[in-house]
Amino acid sequence: MSVPEPIHQRLTEAFIEGDEEAAEAITLEALEAGVDPLAIISEVMVPALTEVGNRFQTGEYFLPELLMAGEAAEVASKHLEAAIAASGQANEKLGTVVMGTVEGDVHDIGKNIVVTMLRAHGFKVIDLGRRVSPSAFVDAAQQNDADIVAMSSLMTTTRPAVQSTVNLFSELGLEGKYKLIAGGGSVTGDWAKEIGAGYSEDAAGAVELCKRLMGIPVS
Ligand code: B12
Q: Is the pLDDT of residue 136 over 90?
A: yes
Question: Could you tell me the distance, in angstroms and rounded to a whole number, from the CA of residue 108 to the centre of ligand 1?
Answer: 7
Q: Are residues 144 and 185 in the same domain?
A: yes
Q: Cβ distance 102 to 161 under 8 Å?
A: yes
In this prediction, residue 91 carries a pLDDT of 67
How much distance in Å is there from the Cα of 48 to the middle of ligand 1?
12
Task: Convert the pLDDT of each residue in 138-161 to its tens digit.
Answer: 999 999 999 999 999 999 999 999
Burial 13-47 (b: 16+ CB within 10 A, else e): ebbbbbbbebbbbbbeebbeeebbbbebbbbbbbe
State what percent of residues in the chain have pLDDT above 70.
Answer: 99
* DSSP code string of 73-135: HHHHHHHHHHHHHHH----S--EEEEEEEBTT----HHHHHHHHHHHHTTEEEEE--SSB-HH
Residues 200 and 103 in one domain: yes
Q: How confident is the model at residue 90 (pLDDT cuts 50, 70, 90)?
A: low
Residues 119 and 69 in one domain: no
Confidence (pLDDT) at 87:
87
Question: Are 18 and 68 within one domain?
Answer: yes
Q: What is the pLDDT of residue 151?
A: 98
| Final residue in a domain of this structure, among 52, 87, 122 | 87
Whether the per-residue pLDDT at 61 is higher than 80: the answer is yes
Q: What is the pLDDT of residue 93?
A: 87
Are residues 76 and 100 both part of a single domain? no
* 71 plus 125 within the same structural domain: no
Q: Domain of residue 54: give its range.
A: 5-87
Q: For the chain, how many structural domains are there in total? A: 2
Atom of ligand 1 nearest to the CA of 46: 27
Residues 130 and 56 in one domain: no
Same domain, 157 and 69: no
Whether residue 219 has its Cβ less than 6 Å from ligand 1: no
